[in-house]
Structure 1
Amino acid sequence: MTEQNTRLGILLMVATTLIFAVQDGISRHLAAEYNVQMVVMIRYWFFAAFVIAVAARKAGGLRAAAATRQPLVQGFRAVLLVAEICVMIYGFTLLGLVESHAVFACYPLLIAALSGPVLGESVGWRRWAAIAVGFVGVIIILQPGFGVFQPEAVVPLMAALMFALYGLLTRYVARGDSATTSFFWTGTVGAVAMTLVGVWYWQPMSGPDWGWMAVLCVTGALGHYTLIKCYEVAEASSVQPFAYLQLAFASALGLTVFGETIRPNVAVGVVLIVAAGLFTLWRQKVKGGG
């Protein structure tokens, strides 16, 4: 991999995290006014159309994109992701962007912890130590022993666990399916599943909010496009640490646009979680195992 490609990959990952952070801000705004299921359903309609358009341009077209020997796992992955998005956006309405993302940042540690039982990968003592440090960070954020524990904080933690499982299943299906196939199933099955739920929660939307919904749909497609391009030009291990910038960008939006604050315990917890997450990524790159 050339240095130029790695640099381009990093720039694309930074762009992706910024786009996803903007998406989170718009989702927080819309979910405060309308039902979460409806917001995600409309977003997924556009996402499915984008996925189908991308697949149609590939060799073999839609038939090749849809072909898989793992339909149950692919379908479960898609439903898991759309459910995770609903849970996370609900978390935004309860806790805001700063604290939701602070807790959600532990998902790479959950992936590392679960890669053994789910994928049969070996996790050495150093990575287990980093995972433990990261979860100390989560506990500091949650403050379970100070009488001010927020039950709402469990919501983004649940989203992190769902997203970690989705990530592991994505790695699992990659052993037999192309990225195009996984992307196709994610968009189409997710849209169908979300429509079956969301259509019952339809609410009339104001003109300006339809504008925000349009931006949400476009940023969703654009973010996935830049992410795909990012992994095409650079190795995942080189760009993955920069995914943590979504936490910084989303927090900046929460502070400036939504008037949120960062509590000292959240700041300390985030430092531990991100440091532990970066260490596990580094160990994975260096040793591949532990």
Structure 2
Amino acid sequence: MTTQNTSLGIWLMVLTTLIFSAQDGLSRHLSEATNVYMVTMVRYWFLAAFVISLAARQPGGLRAAARTSRPVMQIFRGTLLVLEICVMVTGFVHLGLVESHAVFACYPLLIAAFSGPVLGEKVGWRRWTAIGVGFLGILVILQPSGGVFSPLAAIPLLAALMFALYGLQTRKVASSDSAATSFFWTGVSGVVVATGIGMWFWTPMSLGDWGLMGLLCLLGASGHFTLIKCYEVAEASAVQPFAYLQLVFASILGIVAFDEVLRPNVALGTAIIVCAGVFTLIRARRQARS
């Protein structure tokens, strides 16, 4: 049995968000240089190799990791995540890291909102109020009179919806499959879908960009590794609020590396969404304990 160490888990989550933020910045650069689908495909080649090598080292090997009672749902999860990554990186290219992450930050609220009809969980009036406040934050970001409000704002919003459904499906299969099995199917089914799409969009890259692609793949594997270790040493509910730091790190990277601008309405709306999201996570944790 793994000893619980919440402090270590928090630091691992902070490191994970930093790694994934760097990955987002590289994904944006490489997608602008080539295209989203090719970048996603190559990322998944490396991820699948990482997942398979990790599974082979576990007790029972690949056969144990692949054993699932819900293969259709596992394949659906893997497919959904690939498509979500494509949509989100498209948002990076067209909206930038700051505004894409600001809108995407609503995904925990979407998970809370859909956990009732999808998982049969009880969502009380306090969490529904927080969900409503969070969506007011989205309106502040979108600013109907101008600012981010445009058809392009639907891109990260769609990505948030897809990632929320992915999260709900992950929680659903967790009742019968281990985390190792879900991770295995995420990589294996995902690489099939990513390759099926990306092979039609192959674009030559410079030697320098191939080097950055290699770094991107290493960051992806490192981020998944630190995230796995994070959940091994601490409860997910205790460290999940710190996942919002990815929004902070990605925004800093967008401003420094890509000359993006943090609009006042985006900062205010994001603060509202994060506060509402953290509140729903705390309420869910308290309800689980009671």
State if a TM-score over 0.5 links the two structures.
Answer: yes
Q: CA deviation at 1:147?
A: 8.6
Once the two structures are TM-superposed, the CA of residue 288 in structure 1 deviates from its matched residue by 2.8
Q: TM-score, normalised by structure 1?
A: 0.97
- Which residue in 1 is equivalent to 2:117? 117
The equivalent of 2:132 in structure 1 is 132
* Structure-2 separation of matches of 1:18 and 1:147: 27
| CA deviation map 1:220-239 (0-9, x unaligned) | 00000000000000011110
The corresponding residue for 1:101 is 101
Q: Corresponding residue for 2:246?
A: 246
The question of 1:78 aligning with 2:75 is answered: no
Provide the residue aligned with 2:158 in structure 1.
158
Q: CA deviation at 1:148?
A: 6.8
Contact 1:99 1:266 in 2 (8 A): yes
Return the alpha-carbon distance in structure 2 between the equivalents of residues 287 and 194 of structure 1.
38
1:16 is matched with which residue? Answer: 16
Counterpart in the other structure of 2:255: 255
**In the alignment, which residue of structure 2 is the partner of 1:281?**
281
| Overall identity of the aligned pairs, in % | 68
Is 1:201 aligned to 2:201, yes or no? yes
Further displaced range: 62-71 or 146-155? 146-155
Q: Secondary structure at the match of 1:260?
A: coil
SS in structure 2 of the partner of residue 257 of structure 1: helix
- Provide the aligned length of Structure 1 versus Structure 2: 290
Residue 4 of structure 1 and its aligned partner are, at CA, apart by 7.3
Distance, in Å, in 2 between the alignment partners of 1:87 and 1:259 is 22
The 4+ residue runs of structure 1 with deviation greater than 3 A are: 1-4, 145-148
CA–CA separation in structure 2 for the residues paired with 1:268 and 1:119: 32
Q: Which runs of 5+ in 1 are unaligned?
A: none
- For residues 51 and 121 of structure 1, the distance between their equivalents in structure 2, rounded to whole angstroms, comes to 31
The answer to whether the 8 A contact 1:283-1:289 is kept is no
Contact 2:131/2:276 (8 A) holds in 1: yes
In the alignment, what sits opposite 2:180?
Answer: 180
Residue in 2 that maps onto 1:215 = 215
Q: Residues 68-125 of structure 1: CA distance to partner in whole angstroms, max 9, x if unpaired?
A: 1100000000000010000000000010000000000000000000000110000000
1:98 touches 1:262 (CA, 8 Å); kept in 2?
A: yes
- Structure 2 unpaired stretches of 5+: none
8 Å Cα contact 1:38/1:202 also seen in 2: yes
Matched, 1:190 2:199: no
Which residue matches 2:171?
171
Q: Which amino acid aligns with 1:78?
A: G
Deviation at 1:145, TM superposition (A): 4.4
Q: Deviations over 1:172-214 (max 9, x none)?
A: 0000000010000000110011101100100111000001000
The aligned counterpart of 1:43 is 43
Change (3 A) 1:152 1:60: same
Question: 1:2 and 1:50, CA in 2 relative to 1: closer, same or farther beyond 3 A?
Answer: closer
User: Hey, what does 1:65 align to over in structure 2?
Assistant: 65
